[in-house]
Amino acid sequence: MKSEKKTTHKPNRLFFLLPTLLTCGRGVLSRTRRCRVVRDNHSHQKCRPISLAMRRLPSMRTLHWSVAKAPKLGLLRQMSIDARRMGRSESRRPVRVMEVSPRDGLQNESEILPTELKVELIQKLIDVNLRHVEVGSFVSPKWVPQMASTTEVISHPVLRDARKSNAINFSCLIPNLRGFEAFEKSNACSGVNRAPVVDEIALFASATEGFSKANINSSISESINKMAEVAARAQSRGIKIRGYVSCAFGCPYEGRVDSKNVASVTQELLNIGCYEVAISDTIGVGVSRQVEECLNQLARSGINLEQLGVHCHDTFGTGLSNILTAVELGVQTVDSSIGGIGGCPYSPGSTGS
Ligand code: HMG
Ligand code: MG
């Protein structure tokens, strides 16, 4: 294994500000490319051991505390002010934050939370100004029982009222036509003046066959066909479609992943109508050089990086540096998960985003 090479450059201030931007959901990041934050290689020598990295997920009480108090902390407020100052003095580009904790976070909790608690979490996310929230999924309850109450969540009056009074976008993850039909039925019941509460869906595919089979019981090409059916139906209803490509930097079943596979699955998702695809580090093994290589490969394949997001699980503590690298290269959307909760039940060893 190669040893880790330390950079002599000072880390970009932006790196330290990123948690605030993720927490508050209204950050503006500068385009500066003066230095690389982490000049890392593919060694995990300096990373936390997996037992530490796979820390216990916070209890719902801690979660509530962090949602409720985070914006009030003096340090975070100061960092926010610094971010605004930086934004004034340097060229700026807004970065959209997609908060996925009610779906990605809660799907990996061992406890199945009651609907009221899920809705309370969503309300608190809205209160701290997050404007794009993935609120659940319509996957099989046999596969992911934690998401079985998504129908009740999106029909809840709190979400309807939030949609009425704020510029909020809610989204749901859909695995197949059966899931889309269930979604449509619930969403129709939840509408405000015939406008649906959820106006966006998220489709997902994997860059590796192993994870695709484990997660959705389909090969990659079968899954793209299923997603294409859903996308066609969603487009006919005017519903926006976002995509995820899982295992972009590593797979729990196949190890290292070829960026060309990531590029081809990303292109397929864009072709079927996704307005954006989130390049996803499902098990959190990516490092920033790999992110750079992968995004360069995507750009060489003709993909516009402005149509990409990043969804970085933080298993080995590289999530923030990976996000910064992606944003500096032009990625527009960053996924966040409050309290760092999350993971996929079918990717052993993954932790939160
Ligand atoms: P399957 O067992 O192959 O499905 O599961 P099937 O088509 O053979 O149907 C079997 C039964 O499931 C049938 O019922 C279907 O009706 C039912 P039965 O006749 O036996 O009574 N069924 C459904 N029920 C409810 N909702 C549905 C649905 N579809 C079929 N939508 C399936 C295939 C895709 C459904 C299953 O594998 C599944 O639900 N997988 C989802 C797993 C999941 O949610 N993983 C986590 C989300 S992905 C993720 O976290 C990654 C991401 O965060 C990015 C990253 O970090 O990489 C997005
Ligand atoms: Mg995920």
* Cα 346 from Cα 262, distance rounded (Å): 19
Is residue 206 within 6 Å of ligand 1 at its C-beta?
A: no
Tell me the Cα Rg of the chain.
19
Residue nearest to atom 12 of ligand 1 (CA): 140
Last residue of a domain, one of 43, 64, 85: 64
* Cα 307 from Cα 329, distance rounded (Å): 12
Is residue 216 within 6 Å of ligand 1 at its C-beta?
A: yes
Does 246 fall in a domain?
Answer: yes
Residue nearest to atom 50 of ligand 1 (CA): 344
Is residue 107 within 6 Å of ligand 1 at its C-beta?
A: yes
Q: Could you tell me the distance, in angstroms and rounded to a whole number, from the CA of residue 91 to the centre of ligand 2?
A: 31
Number of H helices, E strands in the chain: 13, 10
Residue nearest to atom 40 of ligand 1 (CA): 216
Residue nearest to atom 2 of ligand 1 (CA): 217
Whether residues 255 and 197 share a domain: the answer is yes
Q: Could you tell me the distance, in angstroms and rounded to a whole number, from the CA of residue 247 to the centre of ligand 2?
A: 10
DSSP 173-232: E--SHHHHHHHHHHHHHT-BTTB-S--EEEEEEESSHHHHHHHHSS-HHHHHHHHHHHHH
Does 35 fall in a domain?
Answer: yes
Q: Could you tell me the distance, in angstroms and rounded to a whole number, from the CA of residue 175 to the centre of ligand 1?
A: 6
What pLDDT is recorded for position 208?
98
What pLDDT is recorded for position 64?
37
What pLDDT is recorded for position 184?
95
CATH of the domain at 333: 3.20.20.70
AA letter at 268: E
Is residue 309 within 6 Å of ligand 1 at its C-beta?
A: no
Q: Mean pLDDT of successive 10-residue segments in the chain (353 residues)?
A: 41 42 35 28 32 34 39 40 41 87 96 97 96 98 98 94 88 98 87 76 98 98 98 97 98 96 98 98 97 97 97 96 96 95 86 79
What pLDDT is recorded for position 350?
77
Does 333 fall in a domain?
Answer: yes
Q: Could you tell me the distance, in angstroms and rounded to a whole number, from the CA of residue 128 to the centre of ligand 1?
A: 32
Range of the domain at 215: 96-340
Whether residues 111 and 153 share a domain: the answer is yes
Does 193 fall in a domain?
Answer: yes
247 noted as active-site residue: no
Does 73 fall in a domain?
Answer: no
Total tally of structural domains belonging to the chain: 2
Does 280 fall in a domain?
Answer: yes
Show Cβ contacts of residue 294 under 8 Å, excluding neighbours closer than 6 positions. Answer: 248, 249, 259, 262, 279, 286
Does 69 fall in a domain?
Answer: no
* Top mutation candidate among 106, 112, 139, 140 for ligand 1, by most atoms within 8 Å of CB: 140
What pLDDT is recorded for position 192?
52
What pLDDT is recorded for position 225?
98
What pLDDT is recorded for position 87?
40
Read off the pTM.
Answer: 0.79
